[in-house]
Structure 1
Amino acid sequence: MGRERSGEPLDVGGHRGILSYEPVELVLTARAGTPLSEIAAALDEQGQMLSFEPPLFGGQATLGGTLACNQSGPARPWWGSVRDQVLGIRLINGLGEQLRFGGQVMKNVAGYDVSRLQAGAMGTLGVITEVSLKVLPRPAATVTLVCEADLAEAVRLMNERAGEPKPLSAACWHDGRLYLRLSGARTAVDATVRQWGGERLEDDQAFWQALRDQRLGFFDEDRPLWRFSIRSSADPLPLDGDWLIDWGGAQRWYRGDSDRERMEQLAAAAGGQVSLFRGGDRCGEVMHPRRRR
């Protein structure tokens, strides 16, 4: 996700294992090298889940790496990000000291909330060794509705549906089709399906897992993959190429070749930023630069 790497890699993948899990308290603590697939399996046995739906990347994703890269899946706008679920961490700083921040319960924190500062820090604030986080029960029912729509219509519908008091848990547009996922109590889901109408997607779990893990055909192309994080209601950006819209319009994936400076201007005008997520020239800066006003 960053520039080309330099130096010797520090592999902490062997530091793994679930240290404690309290299903009644909805709290899990694991070493940073623990694969997310192992955590998901343990939670599934208790009918619980990681609410931020992090990508598993073929079983290679770890808890510490997910926090360091701030990775969240389709449910991000409705169920929160990995940052929102972290309760506490242990890390080793640049002096070789082992430090602990936060804990295993929600409480007010005096001073800097260092645990949450790790989200997206890319490991620059220390080597994460242990993470405690909240988990949630799986919803009783899930249904995905699908309809044909162009990009502009999809963005309008996503924001319109998100503004309604309904159990919406994901909204995505891909290849000319709008996908709306409903999750929650059976009565609430069924009532919303009757009100909204539309075609039900068979085996919808497979679709959302493929989107979460970036296994849809859209992600397999050789062209550079850009990630726009902008205002959900922003109009479609005037860039030639292929698009995939997630997070109800707030996360927009773009496949194409365009001038970086122009894309940054468009992203800023839409209330957000753009980064070169995968591929392309990674010798220079790949993140949207912070500019002083």
Structure 2
Amino acid sequence: MILIAESGSTKTDWRLLDRNNTSFETIGLNPYFVDANQICNEISPRFGSLTDIRIDEIHFYGTGITDDSKSAVIKEGILKALGYNTQIFTYSDVIAAAKALFGNAQGIACILGTGSNSCFWNGQSIEFQIPPLGFWLGDEGSGGHLGKKLMLDYLHKEMPKNIRDLFEEKYGAMDRIEVLNKAYKQDKPNKYFASFSYFLYENDHESYCQDIIENSFRDFLEKYLLKYPNIKTTKIGFVGSVAFYYSKFLEKICSEFNLQITTIIEKPIDNLVRYHQE
């Protein structure tokens, strides 16, 4: 039996390739923010329901899988939870996006979710990539980037008054020390800041919110996409909640640069299942 997992920084979708397409969800398992024991503790209760099934292969696609050491964290945590040895294959989240968007065809795959990423996929592997720099140094176009910009404007008192009033009505008055503590002392600051991006979605009729969204997408294009060779003649696809729910803004900004988006999907898991079934 084959088990597929697709993990962002916020949540992980698991799908068993059985007759029922058994599925479950856990928190995001980014090895930059969770260790093997935390992974084991999170998924053990879910694996407990699979005791009558022998899992022969696990294909884990995830945010934060950037080298062998990060892959090892994922594998150790899963094996501890599973309780027996099996083959575990790990891949970066952008490979999940590429397979989900293009399968064995070529194209430029982009992720705009809690974080952001991109690559040129030749149908079999990543041929070219502008490396992402993570939440603190990059993640342009992502929920984390949008939320961070929103919070900076709030703390710097640069929000228009009507927007600030709406913001405080939703979240209460935000304390600078509390925000700094969330940013530097607690786990998953990317997820914390990304949670504020929903405010932009709820108020996307406001010009202030539109400007933040559109400028963040321009940053993503200018720092990443426009550096890819033959960008204007290559298929471009996006996965992730930000790409999906802010698609009208994303399409607008791409059109400014004469780029044509071929596909936008919210979650790659269904397409990944089809990929592994072929």
Is the pair's TM-score, using the shorter chain for normalization, greater than 0.5? no
Tell me which interval the TM-score lies in, with the shorter structure as reference length. under 0.3
Name the one with the larger strand percent: 1
Give TM-score, length-normalised by structure 1.
0.25
